[in-house]
Each structure stands twice: as C-alpha cells, then as structure tokens.
C-alpha cells in the first residue's frame, strides 16, 4: 500500500497578545491508501489547527507535508487551492451547503471550480448523489432536506471529484444519534470501497468507527 499522506515533525504556533502559544508539537502522521483513521481530541487540543494543515488551508511553522506525492509546503497559494480541490473531499459538521442552490448544483460546484463545463459536471454529480440514495432529491434546496440527507449531499459533493482523501470534521456533530450511526456506517462502506478517510472528532464513540484511532492531547499526537 502506498502512502497518501505524510506529515513529519509539524510545529504550529500562534501569537496571543505578547505571547507565542504552540498549538502543535512535533506532529508526525503517515496514512496509507485505503485507511480509515480517527483523530480524537478535546476542545483546545489542536484538532482544528491540525485539520486545517491536513486540509491545505494553513501551513506549519516547521516540518514537512506530502499529500499523494506532492510537497504541500512548497506550493504557492493558487497551486495549494488547486491541490485542495483535486485531492481532498471535505465533510463538515454543519454541511456547508449553499442555500441558494439546489442539491445538484451544490454537488457540481467542486467540478465547476476545477474547470468542468455544466454538461461534464452534471452527470457526475447525479451519479454521486444517486450513490448516496438521493437521486430523487436533485432539485431540492438544502432547507428542504433532513440533517442526515444534507450530510449525504455533503458526502456526495466530497466524493464527486474522486479525491485521494476524505477529510471529515465532526461529521455527526449536528445529527441525532440514529442518523449519526447511519453516517458512520456509510463511512465504513466507503472505506471498504477503497476510500481513504481521516475523521476529526472529540467523541470516542464516533472515533471508534475507524480502524485506527490517534489521540491529540495538548498538541501532541500519539496512538494511545
């Protein structure tokens, strides 16, 4: 199996007034293709910062990051945005769907941003939504769907560009217990199909859906 992601000795600090607070400390992580891992940590542990670095939305003070063979920290802003669009499918706690667009348009969006035409993007979006059991909801707006359906739309959007990595941030946090279990089972199915998934969560029950759990405490990542 090949490595999809490799972080090595990542440090990250922020200025708070006159102080410099170190949020991540010598974080190293290797994720192989087809893995499903959870990064578990309480609020303030550095989860959001680590997610932003993995998601190519922030850079580290020190260390190296390789994503699907590309040296992330050497890229300029425009190249980084293009890499993010091609290689990472994001799934957020609050779905981040665009209320003014219907379900089909929401799922087409990453492809349109990549330069696909509407004619090219539409059938791929329909295919992704149908796989999520939403083939009959294409023209619904997000506010016409349940929370679980909205999260399935978000997953369809994350998958439509065939990314190397699915990155999920508290993906069941806005859902009731039953619907949350359904989404986690969907993640397991996607993983069995070969998708590589990193899930960030504070909930041990949610984290336990993955085949590997890592713990982030005070900016330090460990396997126990």
Give the model's confidence band at 44: pLDDT under 50 very low, under 70 low, under 90 confident, else very high. confident
Q: Is the pLDDT of residue 1 over 70?
A: no
- Relative to beta strand 70-71, strand 62-67 is antiparallel
**pLDDT tens, position by position, 155-169:** 999 999 999 999 999
Most confident of the ranges 14-23, 171-180, 191-200:
191-200
pLDDT value at 18 more than 70: yes
Residue 16 pLDDT: 83
Instruction: Give the Cα separation of 76 and 191 in Å (integer).
Output: 31
If one looks up domain 3-222 in CATH, what number appears?
3.40.50.300
Domain range summary for the chain, segments of one domain joined by +: 3-222
Give me the phi and psi of 147, to 5 degrees please.
-60, -45
Q: Is the pLDDT of residue 76 over 70?
A: yes
């Amino acid at each position: 199996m090949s490595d999809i992601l490799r972080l090595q000795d990542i440090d990250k600090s922020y200025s708070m007034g006159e102080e410099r607070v170190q949020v991540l400390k010598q974080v190293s992580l290797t994720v192989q293709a087809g893995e499903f891992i959870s990064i578990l940590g309480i609020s303030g542990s550095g989860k959001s910062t680590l997610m932003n670095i993995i998601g190519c939305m922030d850079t580290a003070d020190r260390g190296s990051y390789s994503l699907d063979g590309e040296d992330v920290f050497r890229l300029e802003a425009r190249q980084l945005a293009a890499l993010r669009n091609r290689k990472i499918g994001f799934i957020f706690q609050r779905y981040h769907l665009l209320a003014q667009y219907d379900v089909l348009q929401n799922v087409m969006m990453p492809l349109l941003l990549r330069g696909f035409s509407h004619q090219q993007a539409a059938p791929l979006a329909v295919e992704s939504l149908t796989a999520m059991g939403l083939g009959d909801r294409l023209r619904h707006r997000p506010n016409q769907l349940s929370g679980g359906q909205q999260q399935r739309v978000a997953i369809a959007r994350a998958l439509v560009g065939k990314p190397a990595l699915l990155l999920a941030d508290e993906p069941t946090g806005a859902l009731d217990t039953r619907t949350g279990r359904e989404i986690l089972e969907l993640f397991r199915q996607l993983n069995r199909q070969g998708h590589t998934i990193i899930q960030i969560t504070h909930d041990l029950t949610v984290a336990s859906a993955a085949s590997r759990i890592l713990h982030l405490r005070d900016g330090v990542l460990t396997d126990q």
